[in-house]
Amino acid sequence: MATPSMEDYLERIYKLIDEKGYARVSDIAEGLEVHPSSVTKMIQKLDKDNYLIYEKYRGLILTPKGKKMGKRLMDRHELLENFLTTIGVHEDNIYKDVEGIEHHLSWDSITCIETLLEYFRRDPNRADELMNVRKELEAEN
Amino acid sequence: MATPSMEDYLERIYKLIDEKGYARVSDIAEGLEVHPSSVTKMIQKLDKDNYLIYEKYRGLILTPKGKKMGKRLMDRHELLENFLTTIGVHEDNIYKDVEGIEHHLSWDSITCIETLLEYFRRDPNRADELMNVRKELEAEN
DNA sequence: TACTTGGCGTAGCCATTGCTATATTTCCCC
DNA sequence: GGGGAAATATAGCAATGGCTACGCCAAGTA
């Protein structure tokens, strides 16, 4: 199984490849706010665990296993961002919160959150009513 | 600042004292599913950081700082349990998921989840409708 | 082709937090 | 009050995942 840290890297790598076609050590490092040496180390681990194939100084490609995982991780990340946005969390807090919790939810929870989002999507009034509750609670204090 | 691990211990200790009046090493260890030796070590750290006062072999008491922190942590834990329950997460997954995410949410997110819970509490139909969405989505697959 | 430079890799350190094995203390019962 | 079991403490090891310092590769330029 992948550790939370490994998931962070894998997700980042998948996203970079998805957007730019390749993932360089320095881009990964910048995105995750770690030093390049930490990236190299982790890439070697991900190679060893067959998430990607890595050639020193040359670059890396994701294996099918890595791609599948990466996509799931990215989708999950987006889902959680949407969720927090929907319930009214301030933009500035969203990225960090998602980053923190995404590795710690069972797929059961993820599915339930997906359902919850769909619930709000199906009838925009529901989100409005949620915001009304918010205003009422705020007015009380 | 307290690390996630420190928060886990502090929360557990607060809860034990709240429920039984005292917190023994072995009870803490059992609750957190770690070995007693790990508990001793962490208690010493929490003492050093002034969350509690610890007397070897004798026991511990929370400082005002520790009590305040502990209460907040326990409240947050309960809120998140209620949240996952409400959206339909299976009982077996709840504890572990909450354990995982509770240390990683901003107070902004916590407040929004509180509001969401209040939203569902105010009109039980809403939870019913959520379950209907769930059934429909399940039927599709 | 040779040099420079920036990107990348390696080695080795540190903190955190768990573990096992082994001491030490306390408590209870006789 | 003494002895043994249970509880607790300590020492030392391991994995994880950062960091710094330093060495190596390779692309571009002269």
Which regions of chain B are under pLDDT 50? Answer: none
Dump pLDDT digits (tens) for A70-99.
999 999 999 999 999 999 999 999 999 999
Q: Which domains does chain A have, with CATH numbers?
A: 4-69 (1.10.10.10), 73-140 (1.10.60.10)
pLDDT of residue B1: 86
Q: Which chain B residue's Cα is nearest to A100? A: B104
In this structure, the number of other CB atoms found within 10 A of the CB of residue B23 comes to: 25
Q: pLDDT over 90 for what percent of chain A?
A: 98
Place A116 in a pLDDT band, splitting at 50, 70 and 90.
very high
pLDDT of residue A72: 96
Dump pLDDT digits (tens) for B33-56.
999 999 999 999 999 999 999 999
Dump pLDDT digits (tens) for A43-77.
999 999 999 999 999 999 999 999 999 999 999 99
Contact B87, A115 (CB under 8 A): yes
Query: Which nt sits closest to B27, CA to C1'?
Result: D7
pLDDT of residue B91: 95
Contact B66, B10 (CB under 8 A): yes
| Chain C: bases < 7 Å from a protein Cβ | 7-12, 16-21, 25-26
DSSP B110: H
pLDDT of residue A35: 97
DSSP A49: T
Whether A140 has a pLDDT exceeding 90, the answer reads no
Whether A141 has a pLDDT exceeding 80, the answer reads no
Contact B9, B103 (CB under 8 A): no
pLDDT of residue A139: 94
Tokens encoding A98: 């998602």
Average model confidence (pLDDT) for chain A? 96
* B69-85: burial string, b at 16+ Cβ within 10 Å, e else: bbebbbebbebbbbbbe
- One-letter amino acid of A8: D
Residue B7 to residue B29: CA distance in whole angstroms? 14
Dihedral angle computed from the Cα positions of residues B12, B16, B22 and B28, in that order, rounded to the nearest 10 degrees: -50
Q: Which residues touch strand C (CB under 7 A)?
A: A 24-26, 36-37, 39-41, 43-44, 54, 56-57; B 3-6, 8, 32-35, 37-38, 41-42, 45, 56-58
Q: Which chain A residue's Cα is nearest to B132? A: A119
